[in-house]
């Protein structure tokens, strides 16, 4: 009969009207991110880094600009580890390419900013400033 | 006769002003002005409440919460939106006919507000209880389409023009079933006066006497107020926003205001004609009236957030091929019914 | 003197229902469509050219960005083509994992289709429910590979990582909830008379027309042509699973909708079978760190949610592809828009566009 489908539809929406709400109230509640979540800024563990530049080589979009210096014991160190996150595809290839697991994501997804320049940052400088000092 | 809450309040204020001024006519004049202001206040307040209601109901139906940040329970969200709209840049299309284009939003509000003159809010609380109340409502409500036509035409935009054309087609198809469904009610009452129609429903509401007319009326009213499933005039997926595609900021807000004023008018008309108006046991008339109107508005909103949109030809087919014959049949059945009723008693 | 004339209406690129930045030039007679010309290119990023400057591994994230609502299927198709070119044998477990993810992504993509169709015909609530349920699939993918849209999960030689017990649990939960979700869409949309009237008998595309236009995927099957690469040209262990190919009869909008709804159920069937029969073993093959496929070329197509996703790769023996051409199903299906719209009303154009289900990232490439 014509009109039966309309009434069933109305009953569905009425049920939802009184039903449980699905949304997450964002600034107060936050969804947990998975362990593998790729996003936010790169954190460089300078103790582990051997300066091989494999991360920059595996990057599809040249988002990493690295400067390596060799100290007197012939050990390679990162002088600058610039991540142009505006170019980043967040494909995780750099993290996977690292032979010593020296880079990781900080899993912060709230990285909107007002200026394009703010998207580019130096992970080594951030380590010096004491941001992300957990390792 | 004036026993309603609103009516006694009005009588009290009249008495107060009369004793202050000592002049009957001046008091009457001030009262008329006060009533006009009251109607505008009611419309503005109702629009704010309705917009809030719509967004909350929409949110709840869609498993969301809707606005809940501005003010307690998000009640001030509409106010915040209005402030935002007022502060927006006023963009005028280059080729538009400025006079007609600018006039439309303001003109649109006139018929939307004018119909409130004949609505009985409570016993005795009616601004102008004229003898042709129902006819007046019909005549004024159909004026709104003229503004859509002017606005759509003056915008010099294809989408607006298409929307305007659709508005005219839709108005024509909705007005006639509305008129014929109301006619059945008028046949039962024998009067076009709004207060008579309400008082005729003391024992039984017309929704029980005229169920078919009620259904036709509700469907046609959805067409008249441009709400889903018949929101073809706006049809945002097809013609963006119809006649008000080119309007922005405060001008658009006026369209919005008129739309919700029309929705409220439709709900009030439904309550008055079919659901016994302000009548009900125990509670004062005005409370009953507000409860009924809110329920009818809820049903309109519930329908809107459930159904998809029809196509223009399907809407016309529904109106002319289904609703109109049914309404005509209903009139005939009502006539026979009244004849038999008179013959028995 | 009254005279009538046709006029041109430019629908898009900024329009609420063009699924992105598509422009459709409509020639109208009143509300009746005489001609509909889709104009594309507003989202062109030159992905095919970009891929020429990257190694075979580095190309992978770009395939995510073609059809961004079914990135798994794009990854899959690309990796399959490269594997064929470089003669890499994929372990059976990896094949099963690929099938599971591709089918999950097909469900997610079809849910987007239901949602966008619903909103295009004005049922806003009908959009919210499928999108809400699709979130559960995205949560699974997020847990699996750390991204919600651009997965890069299927890799050359296998997949990125194995399934954890938690993910298997999430998939099982989703599959058991799926029938009730579909019931809800059926109650809210499919059974609705307004919905049926809008879709039934509009934008007819006969089997012959569909074949002539090169239409593939659910659109072709809705016209009654039994052609699905998963059956026709079995790849990646698809012959291990028992599933049927839903077919339409007339090729109208309603058929295209119903076919996709039924495909969701079939995909769920495949996922369940694949999870039950998940073999033990490696999830990725041994792939050299620098992949240099032999000189030659290959064209390989797989069945995506929108049709055949094909990759034509020309190798000159170096680590970077000499040329990649991508057969994007949305792009080719969009050709049918003109045929589907002529003689119908403006309201039908929107529905026709919706049932073609183009993703503009893929159309413009």
List chain A residues with CB under 8 Å of B302. 10, 13-14, 17
CATH of the domain at A112: 3.30.70.3270
- Partner residue opposite B308 with nearest CB, options C31, C126, C348: C126
Query: pLDDT, tens digit, for every residue of A16-73?
Result: 888 888 888 888 888 888 888 888 888 888 888 888 888 888 888 888 888 888 887 8
CA–CA distance, B318 with B224 (Å, rounded to integer):
14
> Percent of chain B scored above 70 by pLDDT?
98
Q: How many domains does chain A have?
A: 1
Cα B2 to its chain centre, rounded Å, is 26
Tokens of C196: 């049926």
State pTM to two decimals.
0.89
Per-residue pLDDT, C107: 92
Query: pLDDT, tens digit, for every residue of B251-286?
Result: 888 888 888 888 888 898 898 888 887 777 777 778
In eight-state DSSP terms, residue B125 is B
Tokens of B314: 């399907």
Low-confidence ranges of chain B (pLDDT < 50): 1-2
Q: Which residues contact A115 (CB under 8 A, 6 or more apart)?
A: none
- Judged by a CB distance cut-off of 8 A, whether residue C68 touches chain A is no
CA–CA distance, A71 with B119 (Å, rounded to integer):
90
Respond yes or no on whether the N-terminal peptide bond of residue C347 is cis (omega within 30° of 0).
no
Cα C40 to its chain centre, rounded Å, is 18
CA–CA distance, B242 with B232 (Å, rounded to integer):
8
Which band of pLDDT confidence, cut at 50, 70 and 90, is reported for residue C268?
Answer: very high
Respond yes or no on whether the N-terminal peptide bond of residue A103 is cis (omega within 30° of 0).
no
Per-residue pLDDT, B2: 47
C56-364 is classed in which CATH architecture? Orthogonal Bundle (1.10)
The label of the residue with tokens 């089918």 reads C103
Per-residue pLDDT, B14: 76
List chain C residues with CB under 8 Å of A93. 57-58, 61, 152
User: A120: domain range?
Assistant: 33-128
DSSP for B307-333, please give it: PPP--HHHHHHIIIIIIHHHHHHHHHH
DSSP for B127-141, please give it: S---TTHHHHHHHHH
List chain C residues with CB under 8 Å of B306. 123, 125, 188
Chains near A with 3+ CB pairs less than 8 A apart are B, C
Q: Which residues contact C55 (CB under 8 A, 6 or more apart)?
A: C290, C291, C319, C320
CA–CA distance, A55 with A93 (Å, rounded to integer):
7
Which band of pLDDT confidence, cut at 50, 70 and 90, is reported for residue A132?
Answer: low
- Judged by a CB distance cut-off of 8 A, whether residue C54 touches chain A is yes
Enumerate the domain spans of chain C: 56-364
Please report whether residue A2 resides in a domain: no
Query: pLDDT, tens digit, for every residue of C179-221?
Result: 999 998 998 888 888 888 888 888 888 889 889 998 998 989 9
Per-residue pLDDT, C172: 92
The label of the residue with tokens 């509670």 reads B283
Please report whether residue A79 resides in a domain: yes
- Cβ of A9 within 8 Å of Cβ of B306? The answer is yes
pLDDT tops 50 at residue A135: no
CA–CA distance, C228 with C244 (Å, rounded to integer):
10
pLDDT tops 60 at residue A134: no
Q: Which residues contact C249 (CB under 8 A, 6 or more apart)?
A: C224, C255
List chain A residues with CB under 8 Å of C188. 9, 12-13
CA–CA distance, B172 with B178 (Å, rounded to integer):
10
Question: Cβ-count burial of C159 within 10 angstroms (0-12 exposed, 13-18 middle, 19+ buried)?
Answer: buried
């Amino acid at each position: 009969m014509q009109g039966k489908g309309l009434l069933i539809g109305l009953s569905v929406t009425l049920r939802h009207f009184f039903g449980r709400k699905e949304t997450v109230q964002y600034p107060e509640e936050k969804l947990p991110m998975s362990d593998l979540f790729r996003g936010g800024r790169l954190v460089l563990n300078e103790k582990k880094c051997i300066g091989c530049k494999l991360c920059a080589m595996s990057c599809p979009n040249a988002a990493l600009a690295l400067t390596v210096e060799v100290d007197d014991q012939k050990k390679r160190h990162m002088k600058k580890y610039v991540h142009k996150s505006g170019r980043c595809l967040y494909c995780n290839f750099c993290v996977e390419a690292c032979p010593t697991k020296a880079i990781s994501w900080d899993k912060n997804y709230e990285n909107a900013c007002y200026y394009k320049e703010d998207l580019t940052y130096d992970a080594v400088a951030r380590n010096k400033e004491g941001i992300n000092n957990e390792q | 006769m004036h026993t309603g809450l609103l009516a006694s309040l009005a009588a009290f204020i009249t008495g107060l002003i009369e004793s202050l001024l000592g002049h009957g006519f001046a008091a009457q004049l001030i009262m008329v002005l006060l009533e006009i202001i009251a109607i505008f206040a009611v419309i503005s307040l109702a629009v704010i409440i309705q917009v809030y209601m719509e967004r909350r109901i929409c949110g709840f139906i869609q498993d969301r919460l809707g606005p809940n940040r501005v003010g307690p329970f998000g009640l001030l969200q509409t106010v915040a939106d209005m402030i935002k709209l007022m502060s927006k840049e006023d963009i005028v299309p280059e080729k538009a006919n400025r006079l007609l284009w600018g006039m439309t939003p303001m003109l649109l509000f006139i018929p939307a507000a004018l119909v409130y003159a004949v609505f009985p809010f409570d016993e005795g609380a009616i601004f102008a209880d004229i003898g042709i109340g129902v006819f007046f409502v019909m005549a004024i409500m159909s004026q709104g389409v003229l503004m859509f036509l002017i606005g759509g035409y003056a915008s010099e935009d294809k989408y607006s023009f298409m929307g305007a054309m659709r508005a005219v087609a839709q108005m024509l198809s909705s007005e006639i079933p509305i008129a014929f469904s109301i006619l059945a009610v008028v046949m039962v009452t024998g009067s076009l006066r709004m207060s008579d129609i309400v008082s005729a429903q003391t024992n039984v509401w017309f929704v029980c006497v005229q169920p078919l007319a009620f259904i036709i009326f509700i469907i046609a009213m959805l067409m008249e107020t441009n709400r889903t499933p018949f929101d073809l005039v706006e049809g945002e997926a097809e013609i963006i926003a119809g006649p008000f595609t080119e309007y922005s900021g405060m001008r658009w807000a006026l369209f919005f205001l008129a739309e919700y004023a029309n929705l409220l008018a439709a709900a009030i008309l439904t309550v008055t004609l079919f659901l016994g108006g302000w009548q009900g046991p125990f509670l004062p008339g005005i409370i009953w009236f507000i409860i009924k109107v809110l329920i009818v508005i809820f049903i309109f909103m519930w329908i809107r957030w459930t159904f998809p949109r029809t196509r223009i030809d399907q809407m016309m087919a529904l109106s002319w091929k289904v609703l109109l014959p049914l309404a005509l049949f209903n009139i005939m059945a009502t006539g026979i019914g009244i004849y038999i009723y008179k013959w028995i008693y | 003197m009254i005279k009538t004339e046709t006029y041109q209406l430019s629908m898009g690129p900024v329009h609420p229902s063009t699924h992105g930045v598509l422009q459709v030039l409509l020639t109208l007679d009143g509300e009746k469509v005489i001609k509909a010309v889709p104009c594309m290119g507003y989202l062109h990023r030159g992905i095919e050219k970009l891929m020429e400057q990257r190694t075979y591994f580095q190309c992978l994230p770009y395939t995510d960005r073609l059809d961004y609502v079914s990135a798994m299927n794009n990854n899959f198709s690309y990796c399959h083509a490269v594997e064929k070119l470089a003669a890499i044998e994929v372990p059976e477990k990896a094949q099963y994992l690929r099938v599971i993810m591709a089918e999950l992504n097909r469900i997610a993509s079809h849910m987007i289709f239901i949602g966008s169709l619903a909103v295009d015909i004005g049922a806003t609530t009908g959009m919210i429910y499928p999108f809400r349920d699709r979130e559960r699939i995205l949560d699974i993918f997020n847990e699996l590979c750390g991204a919600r849209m651009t997965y890069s999960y299927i890799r050359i030689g296998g997949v990125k990582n194995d399934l954890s017990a938690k993910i298997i649990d999430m998939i099982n939960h989703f599959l058991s909830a799926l029938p009730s979700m579909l019931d809800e869409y059926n109650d809210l949309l499919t059974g609705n008379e307004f919905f049926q009237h809008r879709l039934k008998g509009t934008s007819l595309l006969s089997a012959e027309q569909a074949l002539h236009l090169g239409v593939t995927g659910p659109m072709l099957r809705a016209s009654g042509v039994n052609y699905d690469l998963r059956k026709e040209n079995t790849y990646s262990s698809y012959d291990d699973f028992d599933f049927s190919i839903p077919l339409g009869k007339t090729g109208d909008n309603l058929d295209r909708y119903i076919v996709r709804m039924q495909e969701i159920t079939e995909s769920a069937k495949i996922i369940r079978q694949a999870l039950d029969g998940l073999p033990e073993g490696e999830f990725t093959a041994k792939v050299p760190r620098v992949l240099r496929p032999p000189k030659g070329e290959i064209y390989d197509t797989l069945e995506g949610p929108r049709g055949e996703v094909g990759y034509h790769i020309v190798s000159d023996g170096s680590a970077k592809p000499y040329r990649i051409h991508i057969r994007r199903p949305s792009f080719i299906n969009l050709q049918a828009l003109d045929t589907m719209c002529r003689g119908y009303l403006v309201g039908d154009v929107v529905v026709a566009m919706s049932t073609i289900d183009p993703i503009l990232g893929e159309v413009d490439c």
